[in-house]
């Protein structure tokens, strides 16, 4: 009786300690997530408040202060400065880049992950090395190349942006897609081959439909990376009619004055498509990254 009583007394105590540790760990996790949430959302909230202030309120140094009266005219000025023209250029360049990256990366990943050939790992290594090359290190070589392509070169054209964008976004896309495609059972291909399917039919009708989650991840990451890119666009594009969204803020900077509120409004409008798409498709990014990491 005494032993059973002692055992009964010990078990609840152990359970309480386990629950206590679990509760503390859960509380710390929520605290950490709360801090991350604030640090990620506050810059967006601050930018929204900034865009509604007058120049005087901004220059007064009230970093955390709210505007006395929201200046909605800042957004009208941002629209009048050619926002839709910049937006159209960004949409054009981004969409073409996304489509090309997805097609090229999916075919390369299929060849690396599903074919048995001795140079597969070498090709994969070359793409991994490509992920390590900084974009800024290629500015001068690319400028010389684009200047000498064709009779007039391709500088100051959207093609001068699309080509390097594809080159820099394809390596990470190949990495994500190849890791996922390696996890696809070989029996699926073997059954298709028995039914008379060729390589291209297997790729289009079997591998691609199964690879939708990582493909969505590739599309969204490419969109986010290209949408706000400034360095290459500032180097290769000089025509006002061809400039993309990041250049719009320069429209409010003159030799003698700067319209800070309109700049903030333009930045809000420029970031809005990225924020909306990310929140709508955030689960797709997570599922695609986890699929490639765990199954690969």
Model confidence pLDDT, tens digit, residues 91-139: 999 999 999 999 999 999 998 888 877 787 888 888 888 888 888 888 8
Contact 86, 243 (CB under 8 A): yes
Task: Take residue 187 and report the two structure tokens written for it.
Answer: 């029996």
Contact 125, 59 (CB under 8 A): no
pLDDT at 212: 87
* Other beta carbons within 10 Å of 27: 10
From the number of C-beta atoms within 10 Å of its C-beta (0-12, 13-18, 19+), residue 148 rates as exposed
Q: Tell me the whole-structure pTM to 2 decimals.
A: 0.79
> What number is the average pLDDT over the span 173-192?
86
Q: How confident is the model at residue 295 (pLDDT cuts 50, 70, 90)?
A: very low
Task: Give the tens place of pLDDT for each residue, 53-75.
Answer: 988 888 887 767 888 888 899 99
CA distance 36 to 192: 47
> What number is the average pLDDT over the span 145-160?
88
> What number is the average pLDDT over the span 255-263?
83
CA distance 170 to 130: 9
> What number is the average pLDDT over the span 219-224?
88
Higher per-residue confidence, 95 vs 249: 95
Residue 27 has pLDDT above 80, yes or no: no
CA of 198: how far to CAs of 63, 112, 159, in Å? 63, 17, 34
Higher per-residue confidence, 56 vs 287: 56
> What number is the average pLDDT over the span 77-87?
90
From the number of C-beta atoms within 10 Å of its C-beta (0-12, 13-18, 19+), residue 159 rates as middle
Q: What separation, in Å, do the N-terminal and C-terminal C-alpha atoms of the chain show?
A: 55
Output the average pLDDT for the chain: 82
Q: Find the farthest-apart pair of alpha carbons in the chain and give their distance in angstroms, rounded.
A: 99
Residue 296 has pLDDT above 50, yes or no: no
CA distance 44 to 49: 9
Task: Take residue 7 and report the two structure tokens written for it.
Answer: 């055992």
CA distance 135 to 130: 10
Task: Take residue 111 and report the two structure tokens written for it.
Answer: 């060849």
pLDDT at 115: 82
């Amino acid at each position: 009786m005494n032993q059973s009583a002692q055992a009964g007394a010990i078990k609840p105590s152990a359970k309480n300690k386990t629950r206590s540790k679990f509760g503390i760990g859960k509380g710390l996790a929520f605290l950490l997530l709360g801090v991350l949430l604030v640090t990620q959302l506050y810059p967006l909230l601050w930018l929204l408040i900034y865009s509604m202030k007058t120049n005087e309120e901004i220059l007064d140094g009230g970093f955390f202060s709210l505007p006395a009266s929201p200046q909605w005219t800042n957004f009208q000025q941002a629209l009048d400065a050619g926002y839709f023209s910049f937006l159209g250029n960004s949409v054009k360049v981004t969409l073409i880049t996304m489509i090309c990256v997805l097609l090229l990366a999916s075919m390369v990943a299929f060849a690396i992950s599903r074919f048995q050939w001795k140079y597969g790992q070498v090709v994969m290594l070359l793409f991994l090395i490509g992920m390590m090359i900084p974009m800024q290190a290629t500015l001068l070589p690319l400028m010389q190349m684009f200047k000498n392509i064709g009779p007039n070169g391709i500088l100051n054209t959207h093609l001068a942006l699309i080509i390097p964008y594809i080159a820099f976004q394809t390596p990470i896309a190949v990495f994500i897609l190849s890791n996922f495609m390696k996890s696809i059972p070989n029996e699926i291909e073997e059954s298709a081959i028995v039914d008379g399917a060729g390589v291209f039919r297997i790729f289009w009708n079997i591998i691609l439909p199964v690879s939708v989650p990582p493909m969505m991840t590739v599309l969204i990451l490419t969109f986010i990376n290209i949408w706000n890119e400034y360095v290459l666009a500032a180097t290769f594009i000089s025509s006002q009619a061809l400039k993309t969204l990041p250049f719009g803020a320069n429209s409010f900077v003159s030799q003698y004055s700067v319209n800070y509120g309109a700049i903030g409004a333009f930045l809000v409008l420029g970031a809005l498509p990225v924020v909306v798409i990310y929140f709508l498709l955030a689960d797709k990014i997570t599922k695609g990254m986890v699929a490639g990491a765990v199954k690969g």
